[in-house]
């Protein structure tokens, strides 16, 4: 069965295909470095064309592309993510901790940005050269040697975007308040790990109205596999006025789900590259124009 990645490749012209195939294998000359250091990376990706974030052998995953970029740039290879996202799910401000080469003899090992951090390699620009356009490193931050993007994280945030037409938002909010009271999410998760513990505490669960679309804003220290998408499925059924059977919970599609934030006891201070900012600005304007055109087409129908 041909998947969404096959369909995505069909949209590329000959030169784009050659660039995508050849570029990852143009290994950079070994960087001249004086030491290694641990840093945090901020990552943004459109998950539509990928089989999730986690690395899989021969898989077209976001993680595989990032590892390839680390190895081809000769920056490093060890990387740990704040969370995992399934096929089709996107990420904004996903955090990863990564051991990389450094230009400095004694690199900063604190959360605060120091003057010599600005003398470092442009980690984001180097990695982005080897990454597809829909996977971007948007910044990097200094961190202590004991920092872990996964284990130091105290809260993870997701948004699930949806069209409110035909849905009773007040009923959805009533169900969201019940989700906050729950302590066991066995019926609201995929049982992919036989050793999983299903006790969880949801810190925040809110339906937010935002222009044309609404979204579920949900936050917790950790989530079970498919937990957010199953929770939204329940909320949507409540919004339609349907009875909810927690013994037969379905799952919402992945495309509307976005990993939005990872929080830590000490805030991370990211260094951003102005060149990247200009690129993102141009892409943002382009996407806004497309949105307006689609909006006009819809209103004329």
The phi and psi torsions of 80 (rounded to 5 degrees) equal -135, 135
CATH class given for the domain over 155-261: alpha beta
- Asked if residues 264 and 197 have their Cβ atoms less than 8 Å apart, the reply is no
What is the per-residue DSSP string for 97-131? EEEEEESSSS---SSS--GGGGGS--HHHHHHHHS
pLDDT at 301 over 80: no
Give the residue among 70, 88, 19, 283 at the shortest CA–CA distance from 9. Answer: 19
Q: Averaged over 4-26, what is the pLDDT?
A: 64
86 part of the active site: yes
Question: Whole-model pTM?
Answer: 0.85
pLDDT at 150 over 80: yes
Q: Name 241's Cβ contacts closer than 8 Å, sequence gap at least 6.
A: 168, 171
pLDDT in tens, 198-233: 999 999 999 999 877 899 999 999 999 999 999 999
Average model confidence (pLDDT) across the chain: 90
- Provide the 3-class DSSP secondary structure of residue 138: strand
Residue 29: pLDDT band by 50, 70, 90 thresholds? low
Domain residue ranges of the chain, discontinuous segments joined by +: 4-151, 155-261
pLDDT in tens, 80-139: 999 999 999 999 999 999 999 999 999 999 999 999 999 999 999 999 999 998 999 999
Residue 26: pLDDT band by 50, 70, 90 thresholds? low
Report the C-alpha dihedral over residues 189, 195, 199, 201, rounded to 10 degrees.
Answer: -70
Q: Same fold for the domain at 4-151 and the one at 155-261?
A: yes
CATH, domain range 4-151: 3.30.70.580
Burial class (CB in 10 A: 0-12, 13-18, 19+), 171: middle
Q: What percentage of the chain reaches a pLDDT higher than 90?
A: 71
pLDDT of residue 275: 78
Q: Averaged over 165-187, what is the pLDDT?
A: 96
Q: What percentage of the chain reaches a pLDDT higher than 70?
A: 93
The phi and psi torsions of 287 (rounded to 5 degrees) equal -70, -35
Choose the catalytic residue: 46, 86, 117, 124: 86
């Amino acid at each position: 069965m041909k998947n969404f990645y096959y369909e995505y490749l069909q949209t590329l012209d000959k030169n784009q295909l050659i660039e995508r195939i050849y570029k990852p294998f143009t290994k950079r000359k070994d960087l001249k470095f004086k030491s290694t250091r641990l840093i945090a990376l901020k990552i943004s990706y459109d998950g539509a064309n990928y089989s999730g974030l986690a690395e899989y052998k021969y898989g077209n995953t976001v993680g595989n592309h990032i590892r390839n970029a680390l190895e081809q740039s000769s920056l490093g290879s060890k990387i740990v993510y704040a969370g995992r996202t399934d096929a089709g799910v996107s990420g904004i401000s996903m955090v990863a901790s990564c051991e990389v080469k450094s230009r400095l003899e004694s690199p900063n090992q604190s959360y605060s940005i120091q003057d010599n951090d600005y003398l470092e390699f442009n980690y984001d620009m180097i990695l982005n050269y080897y990454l597809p356009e829909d996977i971007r490193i948007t910044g990097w931050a200094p961190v202590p040697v004991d920092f872990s993007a996964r284990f130091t994280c105290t809260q993870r945030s997701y948004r699930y975007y949806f069209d409110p037409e035909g849905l009773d938002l007040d009923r959805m909010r009533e169900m969201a308040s019940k989700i906050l009271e729950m302590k066991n999410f066995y019926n609201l998760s995929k049982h992919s790990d036989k050793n999983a513990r299903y006790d969880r505490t949801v810190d925040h669960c809110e339906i937010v109205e935002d222009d044309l679309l609404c979204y579920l804003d949900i936050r917790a220290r950790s989530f079970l596999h498919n937990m957010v998408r199953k929770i939204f499925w329940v909320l949507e059924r409540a919004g339609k006025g349907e009875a909810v059977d927690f013994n037969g919970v379905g799952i919402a599609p992945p495309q509307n789900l976005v990993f939005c934030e990872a929080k830590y006891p000490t805030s991370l201070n990211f260094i951003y590259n102005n060149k990247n900012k200009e690129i993102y600005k141009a892409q943002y304007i382009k996407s806004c124009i497309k949105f307006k055109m689609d909006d006009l087409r819809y209103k004329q129908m």
